[in-house]
Amino acid sequence: MIVSKTPLRCSFFGGGTDFSGYYLNSQYGYGTVLSTALNMYVYIMVCKRFDNKIRVCYRVQEIVEKVDDIQHNIVREALKIAGIEGGVDIVYSADIPLSTSGVGLASSSAFAVGVLNALFAYQHRFVSSDELAKMACEIEIERLKNPIGIQDQYAVANGGFRQYKFWANGDVSNNVFVGDRNYLRNLQDSLMLFYTGKTRVSSTILSEQKAHIREQDKTVVLDHMVQMTESAYSELLNGNIKKIGYMLDEAWQLKKMLSNKISNPEIDNMYDIAKSNGAIGGKILGAGGGGFMLLFVPIELQSCVRKALHDYRHVDFSFEPEGSRIVFAE
């Protein structure tokens, strides 16, 4: 039996610049994001079956004779990449609700990376974090044609608090945060996470964003996001934690310019309530339209924000230094 554990992620700045339509043509020669893994996880268990069938358990249970008969498209393609044709059970569990709709924490990419990691470990094959990320991108973007960028796969595979750069030549590099660890702790302590109670089909929002990414006004916004990501990393290295809060507010206003589906009246109202009670900045994580809202709130005002947003679930979290890993093998 093999069990993989893959963290979810929180993206702070640069979302959208990880689309190939942007970074392949960027005036800077790259797109970039600043993100961290979270202590919220996707778990994948793989074990041998007595017969040669394949059983996949998630919201439903599938038992099939052949890989091509599997309805769960990520599992199907991961099995093909790993070269496993049958005789396995694959079971999925997570720290967030299992759903076909997104919540903005990269659960789909964490699932893809986690399945691949578990399947290769089942075969006693070591695959690096970057290789797992590349294969997850192949599954989600190339094979399944999902209109997404490539930041999520790398963030959950590598873990930690990192700045990623997506280069015009196709390379991906990353810098793990090497500053004072107290700065990251202070940032973490200044953040609050609330669940809006709404899920959304992220592909609807991202398809629109992807279709218009080369339009001049959208390119200008994304160029600004690259500059902001670079600045935010520098501010963090210098310990200017509160500045990150104000930059999150600016980034949220920019993000909403990429699609009119990223926010809605309820989200806007939720954000306004948070700011009127002490939040400095924040954003909806992921594609937008629902899922989780991240807020930067000074510690002394967090009880006020928590009370004001009592209709929404507050979720405790911390930054996760590790990426996808095998936690049980027997």
| Tens-digit pLDDT profile for residues 23-43 | 999 999 999 999 999 999 999
Three-class SS state of 32: strand
Three-class SS state of 246: helix
pLDDT in tens, 137-148: 999 999 999 989
- Mean pLDDT (whole number) for 250-279: 93
pTM of the predicted structure, to 2 decimals: 0.94
Helices 181-189 and 216-237: angle between axes, nearest 10 degrees: 120
Over 60: is that where the pLDDT of 289 sits? yes
State percent of the chain over pLDDT 70. Answer: 93
Q: What is the mean pLDDT of the chain?
A: 93
Over 90: is that where the pLDDT of 68 sits? yes
pLDDT at 137: 98
The domains located in the chain, with CATH, are 2-179 (3.30.230.120), 181-319 (3.30.70.890)
H/E run at residue 270: helix 265-276
- Mean pLDDT (whole number) for 54-72: 97
Pick the closest to residue 37 from 176, 149, 183 (CA basis).
176
